[in-house]
Amino acid sequence: MKAQLLLIFTLLVVNSGVAHSQTPVPNPQIPATPTVAPTTTVTPKSSSQSNNTKASHKDLLKALEEVDKGFTTLVFLLIKILVALLSLFVIRRFFLLITNRSSQLIIDNFSNATGADEIEGVLTGLSQLARERLAREMKSVYQRSKEHITSVGPQIHLSSDKFPLPQATANQQLTNFISSVKELTPDQIDPLVQLLAVLFPPYGTKVTGILQSQGEEHKRIGITFEIQDIDNRIAAQIYTIWEVSDSEVGKESKRLLKDRFRQLLRTASRWLALELSKREMIRSIPKFYLGSKRQRYLGQIHNFFGVLNQSSAQTHGQFFYQLAIEELQQAIEFYPDWYQPYDNLAETYSLLGRTQGERRIGNLQSAIAHYDEALKRVTEPTVQLRIKVAKAITQLLTGKEDLILAAKQEIQSLETAKNWDATKVLNYRLLYYLACWYALAYCLDNADETQKRAYLYLTYSLTRDKSRDFWEWVGKDPDLESIRGRLPELKSALLKKLNEKPELPTLTGKDFNESIEEVLGAVSWGSREVGGV
C-alpha cells in the first residue's frame, strides 16, 4: 500500500514537471488568407531541463523505495523479535505449570440421601466444615508421617513436601493454558498441542460424600465417601462411616440430625485423611520398584497406616481398631517375612483385649499368637526382648494362672540373664514395657517391691526418651493406673535433673544410676526403698 501511494505521488510530480516545461504559441485568426499550421518549437535548453527533472524524479523514487524496503525489513525484524520473546514466555509459562503441578484434592459438596428436609439448608455448611476438619487431620497425619520417616529411616517416603489442601473445584490452569495456545497456533501443529494435554493431564483425587440414614426417625446415620483418582491410576473406593450404636453413646437419636452429622464428621474426617494419605503414598511408589521390591514397599505402607489407625482408636473411637487390623493383615500378605506387622497386629489385639467384651479373651489370645510369629522373624536382640515383655503383659491381662506363671518366668529369665544391666539399656520402649508389666503385676500381688520396680523402670524409660513420646501418654496409659499417683511429682523431679544434666539420656552404668537415685530421692523415696535392678 505504501509503495502504491509513493508511485502515484511520483507520477503526479513528473506530469506536473512536463506541463510546465512546454511554451504555448498563440494562433491569430486571419480571415480569407491561407494559413500555415502553427508549430511548437522547443529549444535545446528546455529539453535538457526536462531530462534532468525526470532523472531526479527517478532518483527520488528509487530512494523512497529503498527507504520503504528498509522500513519494512525493520518492522518485520521487530515482529520476529517480539514473536520470539512471546514464544519464550509461553514456553517458560508452560514449563512452570508442569513443574509446579501438584496433586489435587477435590471434595465435592455433600448430597443428601436421608430424606430429611432439615439437612438441605445446612449441606453447604457441612461440606465446608468437612473440608476444614479434613485439612487439620491431613496436616496431623502428614506430620506424623515425617516423624516416622525421621525415626525409622527412609523405608517409605512422601510424594511431596506438602499435603494437598481440600478444595471444591479442580485447578484448571494447565488445561486452560493448553486450550489457549491451541487457539493461537496454526492448524498444522494442533495435534502436537493436543499431545501435550495428554502427556501432562491433571492428577489427584476427587471425593464425593453422601449423607444417609437408616431406620425410622433416622435412628442410625452415616457418611458414604466415594474416592476416585482423577487420572485413574488407583482403583476407586467406596466406604461408609456409620454412627456408633445407641448402646455405646446414649440416645443419639434425640439430638438434632444436623448436630449428629457434625459429630460424625470428626470420625469421618480422620478416616478420610488416613485413606487419602495412604493412596498418596501408594501413588508415589517409584516406577522402577517391581516384583518383590514393590511388594515389600506396599507392606511397609500398610504397616505404617495400621499403626496410625491403631493410635487413632485411642482418640477417635474403637472403630479404628478394626481398620488397623485390616491394614496390618494386608501388610503381612505383602511382606510376610517382616516381624513388624505381626508385632503391631499383636499389640492391636492386646489393646482390644483391654476393653470389656465377649471377645476379650479371644483378642488377647490372638495377640499372644501374633507375638510368637513376630519373635520367629525378629533378629535384633533388644527388639526381641521388648516383644517378649509385650507378650508377658498380654499374658497377665488374660487372668489365666498358667499364662501369668509363664509371664513371671519370662521376666525373671530376662532380669537374671548374665548380660542384663538395666542402667545400660538405651531402648526406652523396652524399659517402658517393663514398667507397664510391673504396674500390672502390682495389681495382682500388691507387693511393694513390684511397685518399686515399676517406678524405677518408668524413670529409666522417661529419661532415655529424648523425643518425649511417652511423657504425655504415661498419664493416660491404663496399664500404669496402679502407680499413677506420684507421676506428676516424678516427672517434675526428672525434668529438673535433665535441665541440670542434659547428657543424662546417654549416660550408662554408675553415672546414670546415681542421677536416677537423686530423682527418686526427690520423690520421697530413697534408693534403699526402691532397690536395684
Average pLDDT along the chain, 533 residues, taken 10 residues at a time: 41 42 45 48 55 72 79 84 74 62 79 89 90 88 73 53 61 62 62 64 82 87 90 84 65 75 92 90 84 92 93 88 96 96 96 82 95 96 95 95 95 92 92 95 91 93 89 88 87 92 91 90 58 44
- Closest-CA residue to 322 (of 361, 282, 351): 351
Strand ranges, E, within 202-275 = 204-214, 220-229, 237-242
pLDDT at 152: 53
- Quick check: 142 and 124 in contact, CB under 8 A? no
- Distance of alpha carbon 289 from alpha carbon 265, whole angstroms: 37
Query: 308: Cβ–Cβ under 8 A, 6 or more apart, which residues?
Result: 141, 144, 274
How many beta carbons lie within 10 A of that of residue 191, not counting itself?
9
Measured CA distances, 515 to 91, 353, 421, 427 (Å): 66, 37, 16, 18
Measured CA distances, 403 to 365, 391, 417 (Å): 10, 10, 21
Nine-digit cell string for 211: 449423607
If you count them, how many residues does the chain have? 533
Query: Which residue blocks in 34-122 are alpha helix, DSSP H?
Result: 44-99, 117-120
Domain over 288-420 is classified CATH 3.40.50.2300? no
Nine-digit cell string for 404: 501369668
Give the three-class secondary structure for 51.
helix
Give the three-class secondary structure for 35.
coil
pLDDT at 407: 96
- Using the structure block, give the residue that is written with the C-alpha cell 517393663: 434
Query: 298: Cβ–Cβ under 8 A, 6 or more apart, which residues?
Result: 282, 285, 330, 334, 335
- Distance of alpha carbon 110 from alpha carbon 450, whole angstroms: 56
CA 95 to chain centre: 23
Q: Please, what is the Cα angle at 282 between 279 and 283, to 5 degrees?
A: 85
> With DSSP H G I counted as helix, E B as strand and the rest as coil, what are the percentages for the chain, rounded to 5?
70, 5, 25
pLDDT at 173: 59
- Quick check: 95 and 234 in contact, CB under 8 A? no
- Distance of alpha carbon 468 from alpha carbon 277, whole angstroms: 25
Give the three-class secondary structure for 217.
helix
pTM: 0.74
H or E element that contains 193: helix 190-199
Nine-digit cell string for 87: 514464544
- Distance of alpha carbon 406 from alpha carbon 397, whole angstroms: 12
CA 301 to chain centre: 14
User: How would you label 53-85 residue by residue, b for 16+ Cβ within 10 Å and e otherwise?
Assistant: beeeeeeebeebeeeeeeeeeeeeeeeeeeeee
> Which contacts qualify for 144-150: CB closer than 8 Å, 24 or more apart?
144/308, 145/277, 145/281, 145/304, 148/304
C-alpha dihedral, 345 to 351 to 352 to 358, nearest 10° = 120
C-alpha dihedral, 51 to 55 to 57 to 58, nearest 10° = 140
- Distance of alpha carbon 339 from alpha carbon 391, whole angstroms: 14
User: How would you label 285-298 residue by residue, b for 16+ Cβ within 10 Å and e otherwise?
Assistant: beeeeeeeeeebbb
